Chains A and B, each alone.
Chain A
């Protein structure tokens, strides 16, 4: 590891009992920290590339986060690899698959809180000014509603229903 004298901080990872290989990576240590660090470094990247105000950079990060997480958690169904599970997950989005479909677990609560926190930071730093405020509100509304337990396997108006 390259450190002399000082030991690196170790974590233990027991193999989780999740047979769904698409979601079991989310139960390992370090996932939450990586997620938060990714958002922070994305903000730094937007700031350094565009030179806009911090609030505008957080708005950009919030909207990009909305687009990416909506697409991968709530739109794409099935698994990105050919699992030998006879396609039992091919009608479920990633959000519906995690934790074996159990609602209100720690992972799900964490993932629901992150868009809300992003929204608060972005709205505060842009002083609740109009076009950004509206966009941020739409983003957080859609994401939080999509993650509610009542929306499990619900397809509104048949959008994204099965083939």
Chain B
């Protein structure tokens, strides 16, 4: 508007104005940068208010029409496995692979193709730039240098009428050396989902269940498996020797690696991975009256999966199962006085605005604000840090959308199981 006015008034001033403004900006650069910086910070603080709630297009995915199909039978199966695992644990360690053997037996019983995946734990270092270098030779040298072994258990359900081009991966990490109750529960949960899916006939994609041996960290076991899935090393001459010499623990298993007449050491595949979900049952939290489902999504270098995946899970968890959904947040921030103060100011401002015009509805309560700010902060922190927040990070390196859910409840409830079954259907 002013420019127009100027133009009408004195047409010659127009080029001069631009130069004038530019020189003005340059001469007051410090002031302007401070102003911009403050504006940015204010915008950041306002983010939780301005955030719109996400939604999923019902036309495309129809999560609303998903039905719970989990039955009491599945739950009893899960609890049976949990009981077995805890009993094995009590009996004392014999070979270190009792649990793996138990799981694989159960998987074979429901009619899945099973195999063990032996891996050598890599150094826990995180390489942010490994994503860019497609050097498969480095993997060989790396695994030679390290001697600790882990054993993943993998089961595959072939979709009865599918063509086997795609697969969905379920992962349940557990510590095989010392299985705590929540690890056992997550295994039970994983198994009951798996056995349920093995009985249904509507599957279009194959289902892979990876019971990841996370005694050397959740990330390394999953990434080792993924590496073997995507970039297998065929020249194994040196590695085999290395394996045999270091394999004191596994000698026992070598003899018994035939199950129901099938070789369980052969690596099997099931097509291109479409999505992956990591299930965990977290520590019990007494604080909240409702069961909590926490979603972790950040992968290495701040990559995020398709938002639909998060939204579908969120939708089903909140609207169908009455879960309380957290998307990873910095707990310390929630209670910080300073944030609450900002929240209160904003709340007051919001109320004022609401009074001025009822349509200006941007006020939120200070507690909500603090929570939102904590979520934003944690998301920013994890994305900036570039370190994956869970084993789903390994999938993102291979361009597979993956998230981790961590359930935590006061009691072990049935609807937890139902919940996960939903998520599968929706996805």
Decide if A and B are genuine partners: no
